[in-house]
Amino acid sequence: MTEVVLGVCGGIAAYKACELLRLFTESGHGVRVVPTASALRFVGAPTWAALSGRPVATEVWDDAHEVPHVRIGRAAELVVVAPATADLLAKAAHGIADDLLTNTLLTATCPVVYAPAMHTEMWENPATQANVATLRARGAVVIEPAVGRLTGADTGKGRLPDPSAIFELALRVHRRGLAFDFAGRHVVVSAGGTREPLDPVRFIGNRSSGKQGYALARAAAARGARVTLVAANVTLPDPAGMEIVRVGTTEELRAAVVKASGDADVVVMAAAPADFRPATVAQRKIKKTEDGTPEAITLVTNPDIAAELGASKRPGQVLVAFAAETHDALEHARAKLIKKRADLIVVNEVGVDRVFGADHNEVTLLGADGSTQSFGQLRKDDVADMIWDEVAALLERQVGDGGTA
């Protein structure tokens, strides 16, 4: 059983922390809720005590003989603050300890996850962004807020991510311990498959589900990275802890990835862009001809996004490409590795009932240095961590060789 401290700050999203608490307790974890005084104006102490099965301490002076402001932090194996307000982030970044929760944060030596929730203007304020950067640089995981309905009629970035997504990310962070080897780094991951329209109702596409790309994004966030996930036609639940950019076509995917990769340390092209698109898109639904003979569709070649990224790669930036092949996989992948100027290429053989939509994958990693690593069938989450292990080693080697990673 993991000892979890759930810090709750004063925001309208405090009620969602009840669901997060339930997920922890029903999974067998012991949870100590530490609400701020403002949080108790939204959800009372009896609710937290009933849901956690434990007494709720709200003041440094409660049970002073047990020194709770030190004991709670020391005993914690994982601290999750949800919702985390702009005020709490500022205090944590500057080491201010003026209540039980901030004292707990200063004494905790375990992984700490913050799930911010606030109005868009507060999140985007330079002061808040500087505080978030400080916390991330120290190894804390600060989840990117979701986009959606806020208090009142406001809509924008600042919504608390879904409690189930926070729960999943927090458990991944706990499993990794304090090994935040991507803290302070920005990674871009593309996922899913593009669709090229033929007419208003039809498109050319592929079977990619986006599961491996989403697994890579989740794993990077759990390792402390700031993640931009570019999702092409993916119907999976939004993972917590990252900015999500939705795209449809290959051109849209290219524009989003190129823009996001400007300051990225790592770019992972896990998406499956369509190689071709129709030369023209019919404005009306294409109808059958009288004799049933289909009209010829002229195709043109889409841009090779990974090759473009490889050609413009900055010193110290790592590019990971994917090669999904139906035959002669390693031969084709080695050619792609050279053509795209990638540092690493992930090879897998695909087809009907193979990989697409599945929860497992079987891959080979080819490095630009000539290395080859093959892995048997694994969960896609485990494949993701193996890929990031190799990327972390690449970044370390570049620093050792005098690079700027």
Per DSSP, the residues of 47-81 read: HHHHHHTS----STTTTGGG-HHHHHHHH-SEEEE
Give yes or no for residue 20 having a pLDDT over 90: yes
Give yes or no for residue 392 having a pLDDT over 90: yes
Shared domain check, 315 and 198? yes
- Give the C-alpha separation, 122 to 14, whole Å: 17
Shared domain check, 192 and 66? no
Shared domain check, 138 and 207? no
For residue 350, what pLDDT is reported?
Answer: 72
For residue 166, what pLDDT is reported?
Answer: 93
Sequence letter at residue 240: A
Flag whether 270 is in a domain.
yes
Shared domain check, 215 and 154? no
What residues are annotated to the active site? 206
Say if residues 248 and 196 touch (Cβ distance below 8 Å). Answer: no
Range of the domain at 382: 186-284+293-400
Whole-structure pTM value? 0.78
Flag whether 405 is in a domain.
no
Flag whether 160 is in a domain.
yes
Select from 145, 176, 207 the last residue of a domain. Answer: 176
Average pLDDT for the chain: 90
For residue 354, what pLDDT is reported?
Answer: 57
Q: What is the mean pLDDT of residues 341-355?
A: 79
Shared domain check, 253 and 116? no
Neighbours of 289 (CB within 10 A): 9
Which residues pair with residue 348 across a beta bridge?
A: 324
For residue 149, what pLDDT is reported?
Answer: 79
Shared domain check, 170 and 242? no
Give yes or no for residue 360 having a pLDDT over 70: yes
Note the helical H segments in 261-353.
305-311, 329-339
Say if residues 189 and 227 touch (Cβ distance below 8 Å). Answer: yes
Give yes or no for residue 351 having a pLDDT over 60: no
Among residues 336, 316, 307, 341, which one has the least CA distance to residue 391? 316
CATH number at residue 197: 3.40.50.10300
89-138 tens-digit pLDDT: 999 999 999 999 999 999 999 999 999 999 999 999 999 999 999 998 88
Quote the crossing angle between the two packed helices 86-94 and 100-107, to the nearest 10°: 40
326-336 tens-digit pLDDT: 888 888 899 99
- The residue to which tokens 């002061």 are assigned: 127
* Residues contacting residue 382 through CB under 8 Å, at least 6 positions apart: none
149-179 tens-digit pLDDT: 787 777 788 899 999 989 988 998 888 765 6
Residue 3 confidence class, pLDDT cut points 50, 70, 90: very high
CATH number at residue 115: 3.40.50.1950
Shared domain check, 73 and 216? no
* Residues contacting residue 401 through CB under 8 Å, at least 6 positions apart: none
Report CA torsion sign: 308, 311, 314, 320.
positive
218-256 tens-digit pLDDT: 999 888 888 999 999 999 988 887 899 999 999 999 999
185-214 tens-digit pLDDT: 999 999 999 999 999 999 999 989 999 999
Flag whether 317 is in a domain.
yes
For residue 266, what pLDDT is reported?
Answer: 98
Shared domain check, 260 and 332? yes
Shared domain check, 237 and 332? yes
21-68 tens-digit pLDDT: 999 999 999 999 999 999 999 999 999 999 999 989 776 656 554 555
Q: How far apart are the first and last CA of the chain?
A: 38
For residue 69, what pLDDT is reported?
Answer: 59
- Give the C-alpha separation, 22 to 163, whole Å: 10
Q: What is the mean pLDDT of residues 270-289?
A: 93
Select from 129, 153, 176 the last residue of a domain. Answer: 176
Shared domain check, 355 and 233? yes
For residue 65, what pLDDT is reported?
Answer: 46
Quote the crossing angle between the two packed helices 163-176 and 211-222, to the nearest 10°: 60
Shared domain check, 202 and 153? no
For residue 356, what pLDDT is reported?
Answer: 66
Shared domain check, 248 and 137? no
Q: What is the mean pLDDT of residues 280-298?
A: 88
For residue 355, what pLDDT is reported?
Answer: 56
| Number of domains composing the chain | 2
Backbone angles phi, psi at 71, to 5 degrees: -65, -40
